[in-house]
Copies of this chain bind each other. A is one copy, B any other.
Amino acid sequence: MDHRSSLSIRKNGRMERRERADAARNRRAILRAAEELLRRHPPEQVSVERVAAAAGVGKGTVFHRFGSRTGLMRALMSERARELEEAVTQGPPPLGPGAAPSERLVAFLEAVAELAARNGNLMAAHEHAVLTSKSEQPREANPIYVFWHRHASGLIAEARPDADAELIAHMLLGTLHMEPVASLLRAGGHERLAASFADLVRGLLKP
């Protein structure tokens, strides 16, 4: 192997790694900027231009990374949901394995309420899209919802094998999406919702 071409390969490798690192950093910066803007503004005011400016990147970079504004919104929701899924399956208790089912479910619903509040405007925008478009899948077929529902119903079934875990999990998770609870979340009231989830869950699952 020629010495110069091997050096050139190493150089190209370094450049590619740097490009990948830049891309990952841009991606994170864009997602953080979009989340921050959505916390403070209704979704129709959060344009790609505005996200790009807040993230310190060009508008083209946002389209290159996420395809479209809808793609960005989906990516943001997926990113948050993935973090929660990791915490639930591998993180420390009470969210992760190792605590009693009732305490795991209380911690999970608290995390879901917090996520819904942080991304309230985003969820509202997503709900609106689902309601007004026939092509969108219903909420209960969404992979994020499927995971949330399976986790919640599993914990209910573990502590209360006699209860209708499947239905009760739908009932608990459904409260997030409905008025006036959704307005409460958008107004930052997720701790109030988490406290009532805890009352319902501890009552249902206490031995």
A171 partner, pick from B131, B167, B200, B203, beta carbons under 8 A? B200
Report yes or no: B199 in contact with A164, Cβ–Cβ below 8 A. yes
| A204: Cβ under 8 A from any B Cβ | yes
| A174: Cβ under 8 A from any B Cβ | yes
Report yes or no: A138 in contact with B204, Cβ–Cβ below 8 A. no
Q: Which one of A46-54, A81-89, A178-186 is at the B interface?
A: A178-186
Given A200-B203, A203-B203, A206-B203, A181-B174 contact (CB < 8 Å): yes
**Cα–Cα distance between A60 and B167 once the two chains are bound (Å):** 44
Secondary structure at the A interface, as helix, strand, loop or mixed, is: helix
| A152: Cβ under 8 A from any B Cβ | no
| A205: Cβ under 8 A from any B Cβ | yes
Report yes or no: B204 in contact with A140, Cβ–Cβ below 8 A. no
A179 partner, pick from B138, B167, B179, B181, beta carbons under 8 A? B138
Q: Which of A192-207 contact B (CB under 8 A)?
A: 192-193, 195-196, 199-200, 202-206
Give the shortest distance, in Å, between A68 (CB) and chain B (any CB): 25
Report yes or no: A192 in contact with B167, Cβ–Cβ below 8 A. yes
Q: Which of A156-186 contact B (CB under 8 A)?
A: 160, 163-164, 167-168, 170-171, 174-175, 177-181, 184
| A139: Cβ under 8 A from any B Cβ | yes
Q: Please give the residue numbers on chain A whose beta carbons come within 8 Å of chain B beta carbons, in ascending order.
A: 131, 138-140, 160, 163-164, 167-168, 170-171, 174-175, 177-181, 184, 192-193, 195-196, 199-200, 202-206
